[in-house]
């Protein structure tokens, strides 16, 4: 132990002027020995050692070795707080919680919403999307011909790039990996202003459809799967089974729209071929020409769209009313969806902080009352009003700085937990950290709180006439109306704020409940799923694909514990809108009817419908005869049947993909119940199911219905895949419940946070109400004593105190309800399936808050009834 203190002496004495350092160092070493020799305990030695730091501070203040006013006030304040550990702990915990959750939440909002995107000159970046208002498609993709036209003709842009993310298989042999990848135009990296860290990206020639395959890797994939071997650049790797030349590696952390893209390949577009006007799939990013503005870009594009409309007049051509372009800041495109939710949460923690401040202010007020006598003595001894004011100010600042430190620690902890929880699709969370802005914001809040806290009790204490306080204070039976009033106002505010949060949390819980209640359309229990991809190099023909898929499902079904196995191109809730044009035999499109377009095309194996236990509403399921040589048949969902064949049977009608006579007609043989293909939030769209032997494709989501826990079969499923073809990836192996759970993850996360904040607010408001009521009862114990002595029954005393407290709470509840009524509108875009004025939330919130207030009043009121009149009257 001794060496620790000696080191401390060495370290702390470095703060002394050099000419005095050696002397004090030696003296302290000597005194340390004497102290230890005297048998002093560890606590005393620690106290002595701590005093050395103070000594150094004092001696450093050359010339003036006494404390100046501020320093002395700090010391007085700290000592005062240490004398009242209960008060101090409560105030610090309250303040720490308030500031802590604010720090964490502000860090998230700052990192996710406020901070500029990690590209050079991010303000110049805009996203360009299309719309089809008649089909309710907003923020829709852009087709390749549209991309070329915008790129060639729009002068507002320095450059325009497009991309689209989807999974691909990287690496061959027995260790293929399924990664998030993207196709991109050769201009994308230029637009974003980020060149590859190693090598280069592809040229326009290398981006043509018949060019040799090339790729650019993310830094993360380069490190993880290729060990960061720089000689990889210029060599070939396998991508979806095809030998692909690695041109370069992007810098660490590079991504677009937080999609976790790890592999970039050319978009294979030919400017000379602009046929595919109906195929919208590109996300467009533009960089504004220097000196140009968002408004100018919008004006120019509007003008161009009007001209293109006149020239073409096709349904898929850009047109002002039917298919306009929308330009937004790219930042908004990236954070848009969560922006509102995060700002609401920031508002919520702001409320928590306000409640915490009100609580601490109340605590300080109560403490200030107790110090009326101290203040009177100080001013009688000649302390000026300025000195006293300063003391209170310093006390407030010391408390809030300590609270801010506690809060900063707590905030750090919260952020760690948050990153651990890793709420999916919360963009940019990995970029979040406690940074300078956060520190500044927290310190600002703390300082403001300090000034307010500091001065409120000071003014109150100074309003008094010292002689009066010393003389007759103790004889007063109750508090003055004004003092009582300020404390009550704070309680009213706390109750009101907590109620607003409770109603908000109630709404979000109701919304989450509604979302959980959404039927995905398939039975999700006891189903194991995984994704794989059959590369065209090995599985090029329908026969090869068909043979693999049927041996896969039969091998899986042979496993013990498996009821049945099937596959689809993309699993429910994970699909994105396809919006394919279709032709319906014998149906003429009505001007006010739906456009002939199906939201989803699904490809399934024969047992898919049965394996996921999807109800067949009409007609039949697929049969063995529906194979490549059979009559082309499809199933449709209920939404499809209702949209295109209202009031009649869809079974027996014929449909085909748009457009042209070479597409075969498919007969509708059955109608299935709707499935939420694009997630639980989205209404099920119109859908057509194809049999995989009649519409073969490469990408597969496998579903396995099991008798027991689906996860128990994970290893067996992997083994079956490895035995059939070790070169195929097994990706996202998880239960169907997990797949659907992912679709609710963000809502679950936001709801949990909101509920947590509301709980915290309730707790703090309860503590505040209880504290004020409790204090008020103790101040009125003399009055209670007199009442009891005069023969008032306990019930009347109870009623008196309760009514007092509940009146305050009722005002708070009323104001809170008004506030909630006005504020819940901001939740509109976040809530699912529940009205912002949901009666249940508006009933339950106040009930809980009322019950909490009742309890917080009842406990002190009970105590009031037990006042012993003799004691109460005798007490000072």
User: What residues line the site for another protein (CB under 8 A)?
Assistant: 23-24, 26-27, 29-31, 33-35, 37-38, 47-55, 58-59, 65-66
* Residue in the structure block whose two tokens are 């309760």: 802
| Closer residue to another protein, CB minimum distance, 56 or 752 | 56
| Closer residue to another protein, CB minimum distance, 20 or 837 | 20
Q: How far is the CB of 92 from another protein (least distance, A)?
A: 23
| Other C-beta atoms lying within 10 Å of the C-beta of residue 576 | 15
**Rounded distance, CA 101 to CA 409, Å?**
10
Longest Cα separation, the chain? 108
Q: How far is the CB of 873 from another protein (least distance, A)?
A: 18
CA-wise closest residue to 604 among 704, 701, 732:
701
Q: How far is the CB of 24 from another protein (least distance, A)?
A: 8
| Closer residue to another protein, CB minimum distance, 27 or 835 | 27
Q: How far is the CB of 26 from another protein (least distance, A)?
A: 7
| Closer residue to another protein, CB minimum distance, 33 or 516 | 33
Q: How far is the CB of 20 from another protein (least distance, A)?
A: 8
| Other C-beta atoms lying within 10 Å of the C-beta of residue 681 | 15
For 340-369, the DSSP string reads HHHHHHHHHHHHHHHHHHHHHHHHHHHHHH
Q: Are 392 and 454 in contact (CB under 8 A)?
A: yes
* DSSP classification of residue 295: H
Q: How far is the CB of 860 from another protein (least distance, A)?
A: 29
| Closer residue to another protein, CB minimum distance, 23 or 419 | 23
* φ, ψ for residue 658, nearest 5 deg: -75, 150
Q: How far is the CB of 62 from another protein (least distance, A)?
A: 10
| CA 26 to centroid of chain Cα atoms | 57
Q: How far is the CB of 55 from another protein (least distance, A)?
A: 4
**Rounded distance, CA 437 to CA 114, Å?**
11
| Closer residue to another protein, CB minimum distance, 31 or 310 | 31
Q: How far is the CB of 771 from another protein (least distance, A)?
A: 28
Look up residue 676 and give its two tokens: 């939420």
**Cis preceding-peptide flag for 532 (omega within 30 of 0):** no
CA-wise closest residue to 329 among 291, 286, 282:
286
| Closer residue to another protein, CB minimum distance, 65 or 321 | 65
Q: How far is the CB of 65 from another protein (least distance, A)?
A: 4
CA-wise closest residue to 816 among 496, 355, 489:
496
* φ, ψ for residue 654, nearest 5 deg: -120, 145
| CA 639 to centroid of chain Cα atoms | 33
Q: Are 129 and 328 in contact (CB under 8 A)?
A: yes
Q: Are 820 and 845 in contact (CB under 8 A)?
A: yes
| Closer residue to another protein, CB minimum distance, 39 or 386 | 39
Q: How far is the CB of 67 from another protein (least distance, A)?
A: 9
Q: How far is the CB of 390 from another protein (least distance, A)?
A: 19
* Residue in the structure block whose two tokens are 């048949």: 633
| Closer residue to another protein, CB minimum distance, 17 or 386 | 17
| Closer residue to another protein, CB minimum distance, 34 or 558 | 34
| Closer residue to another protein, CB minimum distance, 34 or 197 | 34
Helix/strand/coil (H/E/C) assignment for every residue in 607-668: CHHHHCCCCEEEECCCCCCCCCCCCCEEEEEHHHHHHHCCCCCCCCCEEEECCCCCCCCEEE
| Closer residue to another protein, CB minimum distance, 65 or 847 | 65
| Closer residue to another protein, CB minimum distance, 52 or 391 | 52
3-state class (DSSP) for residue 166:
strand
**Rounded distance, CA 582 to CA 577, Å?**
15
* Partners of 327 in the β-ladder: 128
* φ, ψ for residue 469, nearest 5 deg: -65, -45
Give Cβ neighbours of residue 458 (< 8 Å, ≥ 6 apart). 368, 388, 389, 391, 392, 393
| Other C-beta atoms lying within 10 Å of the C-beta of residue 116 | 10
**Rounded distance, CA 653 to CA 666, Å?**
8
Q: How far is the CB of 19 from another protein (least distance, A)?
A: 13
């Amino acid at each position: 132990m001794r060496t620790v203190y000696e080191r401390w002496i060495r370290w702390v004495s470095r703060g002394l002027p050099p000419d005095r350092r050696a002397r004090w160092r030696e003296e302290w070493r000597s005194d340390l020995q004497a102290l230890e020799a005297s048998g002093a305990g560890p606590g005393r030695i620690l106290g002595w050692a701590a005093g050395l730091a103070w000594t150094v501070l004092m001696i450093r203040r050359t010339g003036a070795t006494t404390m100046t006013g501020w320093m002395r006030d700090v010391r007085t304040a700290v000592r005062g707080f240490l004398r009242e550990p209960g008060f101090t702990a409560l105030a610090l915990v309250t303040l720490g919680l308030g500031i802590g959750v604010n720090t964490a939440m502000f860090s998230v909002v700052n990192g996710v919403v406020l901070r500029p995107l990690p590209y050079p000159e991010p303000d110049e970046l805009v996203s360009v999307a299309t719309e089809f208002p008649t089909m309710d498609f907003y923020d829709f993709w852009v087709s390749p011909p549209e991309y070329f036209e915008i790129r060639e003709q729009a002068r507002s842009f320095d450059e325009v790039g497009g991309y689209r993310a989807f999974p691909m298989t990287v690496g061959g042999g027995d260790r293929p990996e399924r990664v998030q990848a993207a196709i991109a135009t050769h201009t994308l990296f230029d637009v974003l202003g980020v060149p590859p860290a190693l090598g280069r990206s592809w040229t326009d020639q290398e981006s043509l459809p018949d060019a040799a395959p090339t790729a650019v890797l993310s830094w993360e994939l380069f490190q993880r799967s290729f060990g960061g071997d720089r000689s990889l650049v210029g060599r070939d790797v396998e991508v979806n089974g095809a030998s692909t030349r690695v041109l370069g590696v992007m810098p660490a952390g590079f991504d677009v729209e937080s999609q976790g893209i790890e592999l970039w390949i050319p978009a294979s577009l030919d400017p000379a071929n602009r046929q595919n006007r109906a195929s919208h799939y590109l996300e467009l990013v533009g960089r504004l020409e220097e000196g140009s503005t968002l408004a100018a870009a919008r004006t120019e594009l509007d003008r161009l769209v009007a001209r293109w409309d006149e020239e073409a007049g096709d349904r898929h051509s850009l047109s002002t009313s039917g298919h306009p372009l929308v330009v937004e800041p790219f930042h908004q495109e990236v954070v848009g969806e969560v922006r509102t939710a995060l700002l609401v949460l920031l508002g919520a923690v702001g409320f928590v902080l306000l409640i915490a401040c009100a609580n601490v202010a109340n605590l300080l007020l109560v403490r200030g009352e107790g110090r009326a006598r101290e203040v009177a003595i100080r001013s009688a001894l000649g302390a000026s009003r300025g000195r006293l004011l300063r003391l209170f100010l310093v006390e407030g600042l010391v408390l809030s700085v300590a609270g801010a430190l506690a809060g900063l620690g707590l905030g750090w902890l919260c952020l760690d937990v948050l990153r651990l929880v890793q709420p999916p699709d919360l963009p940019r969370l990995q970029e979040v950290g406690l940074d300078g802005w956060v520190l500044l914001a927290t310190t600002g809040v703390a300082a403001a709180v300090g000034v307010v806290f500091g001065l409120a009790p000071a003014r109150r204490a100074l309003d008094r006439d010292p002689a009066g306080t010393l003389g007759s204070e103790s004889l007063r039976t109750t508090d003055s109306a004004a003092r009582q009033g300020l404390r009550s106002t704070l309680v009213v505010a706390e109750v009101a704020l907590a109620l607003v949060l409770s109603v908000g949390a109630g709404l979000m819980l109701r919304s989450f409940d509604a979302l959980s209640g959404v039927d995905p359309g398939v039975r999700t229990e006891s189903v194991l799923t995984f994704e794989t991809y059959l590369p065209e190099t090995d599985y090029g023909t329908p026969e090869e694909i068909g043979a693999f898929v049927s041996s896969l499902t039969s091998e899986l079904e042979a496993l013990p514990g498996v009821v049945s196995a099937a596959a689809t191109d993309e699993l429910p809730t994970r699909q994105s809108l396809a919006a394919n044009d279709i032709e319906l035999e014998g149906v003429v499109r009505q001007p006010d009817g739906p456009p002939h377009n199906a939201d989803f095309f699904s490809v399934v194996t024969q047992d898919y419908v049965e394996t996921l236990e999807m109800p067949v509403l009409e007609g039949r399921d697929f049969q063995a005869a529906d194979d490549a040589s059979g009559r082309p048949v499809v199933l449709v969902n209920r939404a499809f049947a209702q949209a295109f064949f209202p009031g009649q049977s869809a079974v027996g009608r014929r449909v085909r993909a748009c457009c042209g006579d070479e597409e075969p007609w498919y007969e509708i043989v059955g109608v299935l119940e709707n499935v939420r293909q694009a997630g639980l939030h989205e209404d099920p769209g119109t859908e057509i199911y194809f049999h995989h032997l009649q519409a073969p494709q490469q990408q597969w989501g496998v579903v396995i219905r099991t008798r027991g826990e689906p996860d128990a079969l994970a290893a067996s499923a992997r083994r079956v895949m490895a035995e059939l073809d070790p070169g195929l990836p097994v990706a996202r192996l998880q239960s169907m419940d997990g797949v659907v759970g992912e679709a609710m993850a963000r809502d679950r996360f936001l709801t949990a946070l909101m509920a947590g904040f509301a709980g915290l607010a309730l707790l703090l408001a309860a503590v505040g109400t209880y504290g004020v009521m409790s204090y008020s009862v103790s101040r009125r114990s003399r009055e209670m004593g007199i009442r009891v002595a005069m023969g008032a029954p306990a019930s009347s005393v109870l009623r008196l105190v309760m009514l007092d407290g509940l009146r305050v709470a009722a005002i708070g509840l009323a104001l809170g309800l008004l506030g909630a009524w006005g504020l819940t509108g901001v939740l509109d875009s976040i809530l699912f399936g529940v009205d912002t004025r949901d009666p249940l939330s508006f009933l339950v919130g106040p009930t809980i808050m009322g019950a909490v207030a009742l309890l917080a009043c009842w406990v002190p009121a009970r105590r009031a009834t037990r006042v012993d009149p003799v004691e109460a009257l005798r007490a000072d």
